[in-house]
A and B are shown apart, each in its own frame.
Chain A
């Protein structure tokens, strides 16, 4: 059996990692707490912008530090609301049918995202995906420390995690598919036999053209 590995932000949904994080920041227990977190995030914005340009992993770690101090219960409690309010409305119109088609072909569908696992589980459930590879927050005494557990899901690490997943589930990577919108996911696309660029950025589009990879849009033109 083959598997399809899907990146999420920009591939299946229009949003990126910032949108759900912002939702959590704005939905703290009190407006004062929300304002405080927003203020601290704003201070870190220039550093995060730089990190995004150079190292996706570093960017993820800086962004998710905004979750520091949130309780496990609250993270879980808000996850469904955040999914309904932020992620679900941003799904590309054809995302669900593409995932369904992969399932109809008997493939495992695995979400591979730098977003947080408790959010991605809702997305996987909604789309009918069978697995999730996503980032996990470190929790101590029921509160998030703001750090990510290793391995951090980003860039080349995604390729390694896909290899491990395929090995563990008996998938032949030559028959597997991977979908992403971003040049930073070239390692993940390169490990499978059937890579596809979805709504690709300029660099990925050029690469996909050069190698004859399919270029998909999940909206009708």
Chain B
């Protein structure tokens, strides 16, 4: 099977993708060497589509989100190609990239209180945001626009001139989402937008995110560690492990019929109302300065074969749609002779446990 990186095979809907990421890499320099937090990630996002990016802490999902936005800390480097409406946003000048953020690319953070200015009224937040990108609008037009998006987020117009501290946690997250959406960006990254919230409020926010595509035609990259949220709010899911997307596809397809053992084990270890026994993944995610050879999951994988420890798995089309990289899924013809013998794994001690 020929592996061609730049084609439209990641696009599930057939539309022209809004975002098309190819071989994205992000690394942080440390004294021990480079931490390869994101190591060759490719995906497409169609207009109005929500892609869930799920994985454990340290798998690189937040780094990927910030990398796409160009919001990486100093000392981090990024590489690869991210096409947004035909231009590679990784190659833009800082000024052009600044103009794109807010108006075309939006970001929703985890902790809303740290992102709102406590000394500014909500009205001032909106005035500042809108004026920066559309300086010709009058104050009344700004108010109208802001009230419209606040209304869709369930914040009554009577609260327009309140301060951030006068709102509850869930309301603040709605404000953040409203601020991110008021300029109608085509693409939004939401980094754990519900993690700090309570169950009922979380469900409210998930419904708001669910309605996004209807109201705004926004494409959303929803970063979360909660597979339940993915099932609830996303069209497609990308499962990330140790800096790579190991499986992606339609949520129903991937969750019902996981082909990568990591996806399967992650779902099995999730405690839901139907849980009858406790399952967990032995061991801990690898050190990304020096990740294991072959498949990065092989030291923890219950189905690991000899080939997994030596040869990188190939990113192939998933039976049932999507992509997967795991030798169990193939391609058969690239597995060396005898490579399918079960791998003798070293006994994992608690010393290696997470």
Q: Do A and B truly interact?
A: no
